[in-house]
Structure 1
């Protein structure tokens, strides 16, 4: 995958790091302690890696949960194509490369909405494990991303 940057190879990529790490590379002091920002970050700043990740996973999980349970052949093909194209253009280059490799090992399962939602949950758990984060119970993807929790807390 070609680099998205040309002459700025030494310049940190905001979409490839969290805000604190990126800001340190810019020689800016942003936090005097973990809970007290010295200069609060304005809401209209470009998204950092963590913000892009959270937003992207939310979008992708919602999309997968709403994918038809009996998709047409074209819908199945289009969704598989979407994930492959998405992986090429994800703004965090190391993340994109990782996802492309994961797609080679585990191509999108687009035979049904349930299959797609579970496949995506497994892909997300692969990333969670790499980052040392807890894994999600993939049997609950529709509860989390479409129907709401069984306890009614989302009603």
Structure 2
């Protein structure tokens, strides 16, 4: 799988591959940005409503009826808008859930899962034609883990593994499959099943072909 240059305007948060599938790592950020719209719009509408509210006069009872009718309509519209926001904001619900789950320090399993997610994602989005700086940065990242990783036994095990299986960072496919093999060696030690490394991009970048990640 190779990545082509994006045909989207400069500044777009989406990048595309040959099949024009969006950059999955940007999707939630795009949704989050959109969530600011209704809030901002609601504030502006409220200010405009107050400015445009007709002044009550003593001319006739019809004026009072008209004002009450507009107020009732505005109230219904606000209620409908609130319902829409509740329906269209699943990302906020997930953020609240994740925030509650993240109030305690991670144990080794949580730390390991988060670390693998990060490393696989870095490899999956690594350039197909990396510069020398990209390559050096990738090597620095991997080679620093035995010294910096918080779980001492895990770090020590990685320190033994890396000299025998040095990082391969010539392109995204090579880096991703190397990362997968590293993960599989750890899985074997832990008695877990191995992952099919030919499917790393489906797992960590594009999503499964059945659309279950869409």
- TM-score under structure 1 length normalisation: 0.72
Whichever of the two has the greater Rg, that structure is: 2
Between structures 1 and 2, the one with greater helix share: 2
User: 1:36-77 deviations in whole A, cap 9, x for unaligned?
Assistant: xxxxxx741110000000010011001100000110112112
CA distance in 2, matches of 1:131, 1:97: 15
Are 2:144 and 1:85 equivalent residues in the alignment? yes
Unaligned runs of 5+ in 1: 1-41
Match of 2:110 among 48, 51, 54: 51
CA distance in 2, matches of 1:69, 1:86: 24
Residue 123 of structure 1 aligns with which residue? Answer: 182
Which residues in structure 2 correspond to 1:7-86 (within 5 Å)? Answer: 43-86=102-145
Higher-RCO chain (CA-CA 8 Å, sequence separation at least 6): 1
- TM-score under structure 2 length normalisation: 0.52
Unaligned runs of 5+ in 2: 1-100
* CA RMSD, Structure 1 to Structure 2 (Å): 1.3
Q: How many pairs align?
A: 115
CA distance in 2, matches of 1:116, 1:52: 22
Equivalent position SS for 1:44: coil
Shift of 1:129: 0.1
Equivalent position SS for 2:201: helix
Residue 169 of structure 2 aligns with which residue? Answer: 110
